[in-house]
Amino acid sequence: MTELGPEPAFLAVDDAPACAPMAHGEAIPAHFHDYGQLRYAASGALVTTTSAGTWAAPANRIMWMPPFCVHSSRSYGETDVRILQVPAALAEQLPRQPSVFAASALMREAYLAMINDREPSDSPRARLLLEVVITELVRAPQESLRLPEPDDARLKAVTDLLHADPASPATLAELGHRTGSSERTLSRLFGSELSMSFQQWRTLLRIQRALLELCEGTSVTDTAMRLGWANPGSFIGAFTELVGQTPGRYRSAERAARLEADR
């Protein structure tokens, strides 16, 4: 399984193109912008990591990155990314932390119209379209599945292993043995630094990856097996508790949204 976890920590100021096709597993190194940035995956998905956590943005979701927020990304599947710059004055209307929003039909159409428009970005039409996008984002529901990332090197060694293989059945004691830390120390660090247990963190990681699998069309059963659940029932229960709907319903809704976007 391709690792989609945290990137090495080095910085660059990078002005990405408005449309950037990315191959599966392609990485964008850690960087920041002096403007806000919206990123929409017309196909595939982006997994974005900051010091505060990791966010998954499947197709039909818009990722918001505030100005000066250091972030890195990896693509999941063949990903067609549409990038939109947001001036600092308008960025103040949006959250101060990275966020993932569900894209309404109006938001998506206004967003794509801006990307495809050849008019200057300060033209009346471009300003109006951007105002529509921002207005819709302010009203849009946010995805709540932020996966917190650790600063402690001992804990990061463990979470890096899990990012590389979310389906691993290894216990915390076994992971500690592989990374040179005791189970007791790691358990304490999960609670003090990430405010959750090891099992809660691994479940959240698996659910985040499940969103991507389901959006790619993988069946509920295959998703459960590929991500380490003992049976589909336990996966359905965990997914429903965290996402608020069953994985089957989520998969159907994403399929319908993608068909609508392709029209």
pLDDT digits (tens, 9 = 90+) for 20-67: 678 888 888 999 999 999 988 877 788 899 888 998 887 778 899 999
pLDDT band, very low/low/confident/very high, at 168 (cuts 50, 70, 90): very high
pLDDT band, very low/low/confident/very high, at 117 (cuts 50, 70, 90): confident
Tokens for 62, please give them. Answer: 């818009």
How many H-runs (helices) and E-runs (strands) does the chain carry? Answer: 10, 7
Alpha helices of the chain — where are they, by DSSP H? 88-91, 105-116, 124-139, 153-164, 172-179, 183-194, 198-215, 220-226, 232-243, 247-262
- State the Cα–Cα distance between residues 225 and 45, nearest whole angstrom: 21
- State the Cα–Cα distance between residues 110 and 60, nearest whole angstrom: 13
pLDDT at 161: 96
Which CATH superfamily groups domain 19-139?
A: Regulatory protein AraC (2.60.120.280)
Residue 195 makes CB contacts below 8 A (sequence gap 6+) with: 148
Number of other CB atoms surrounding residue 116 within 10 Å: 10
Level-2 CATH architecture, domain 153-258: Orthogonal Bundle (1.10)
The closest alpha carbon to 59, from 42, 74, 72, 75, belongs to: 42
Q: At what angle do helices 232-243 and 247-262 cross, to 10 degrees?
A: 70
Residue 258 or 197, more confident: 197
Residues of the chain with CATH 1.10.10.60: 153-258
Assess whether pLDDT exceeds 60 at residue 17.
Answer: no
Alpha-carbon distance values, 179 to 149, 160, 161, 182, 228 (Å): 17, 10, 9, 9, 21
End-to-end CA distance of the chain: 32
Residue 253 makes CB contacts below 8 A (sequence gap 6+) with: 245
- State the Cα–Cα distance between residues 38 and 215, nearest whole angstrom: 20
Assess whether pLDDT exceeds 50 at residue 242.
Answer: yes
Assess whether pLDDT exceeds 90 at residue 203.
Answer: yes
Residues of the chain with CATH 2.60.120.280: 19-139
Residue 13 makes CB contacts below 8 A (sequence gap 6+) with: 31, 32, 33, 34
